[in-house]
Amino acid sequence: MAVERTLSIIKPDATRRNLTGKINAVFEDNGLRIVAQKRAQLSPAQAGAFYAVHMERPFYGDLVSFMTSGPVVIQVLEGENAVAKNREVMGATDPKKADAGTIRAQFAESIEANSVHGSDSAENAANEIRFFFAETEILP
């Protein structure tokens, strides 16, 4: 199995409820290593560009408002099959459909305020990591 990197964002609903440590424990308990991490306030331009793929979706404006409503914690996670592993521990987008024990089942407030983002492919992970981090900020 290949060691991969993926981009994770702990979203404003979770930072507001002081859940960063509990969510990080789920990553670490599942073999994902946090090799870069920073707390940031996204601008509307940054959040809009990050979610540009959803620009035509009806929830896009609300999603940008939500993602800029408070600080986020942006992370690079590293581990075997990190992209798929992180999607597994995050759970389904809609917390009502997320498997028990996943981050979203435990912590998400709604389909929008669902506590975490995780890249959905290795290619998107590389682009998303580059969007937020210089290579020198990632320390395996």
Task: Output the known binding site.
Answer: 11, 59, 87, 93, 104, 114
At what angle are helices 82-90 and 20-29 packed, to 10 degrees? 130
- Would you call 117 a catalytic residue per the annotation? yes
Q: Residue 56 Cβ, how far from ligand IDP at the closest point, in Å?
A: 13
Q: Which helix (H) or strand (E) holds 75?
A: strand 72-80
Identified binder of ligand IDP from the candidate list 120, 124, 126, 138, rule CB under 6 A: 120
Q: Binding of ligand IDP at residue 35 (CB under 6 A)?
A: no
Site for ligand IDP, residues 47 to 106, rule: CB under 6 A? 59, 63, 93
CA angle, 124 as apex, 65 and 79 as ends, to 5°?
A: 110
- What does residue 4 show for φ and ψ, rounded to 5 degrees? -125, 170
Our finding on whether 111 is near ligand IDP (CB under 6 A) is: yes
Question: Measured from the CB of residue 13, what is the shortest distance to ligand IDP in angstroms?
Answer: 9
Q: Residue 122, interface with ligand IDP (CB under 6 A)?
A: no
At residue 67, the 3 state secondary structure works out as helix
Which residue has tokens 């580059």? 130
What does the block give as tokens for 122?
Answer: 């290795």
Q: Which residues are annotated as a binding site for ATP?
A: 11, 59, 87, 93, 104, 114
Q: What does the binding site for ligand IDP look like in residue numbers (CB under 6 A)?
A: 59, 63, 93, 111-112, 114, 117, 120
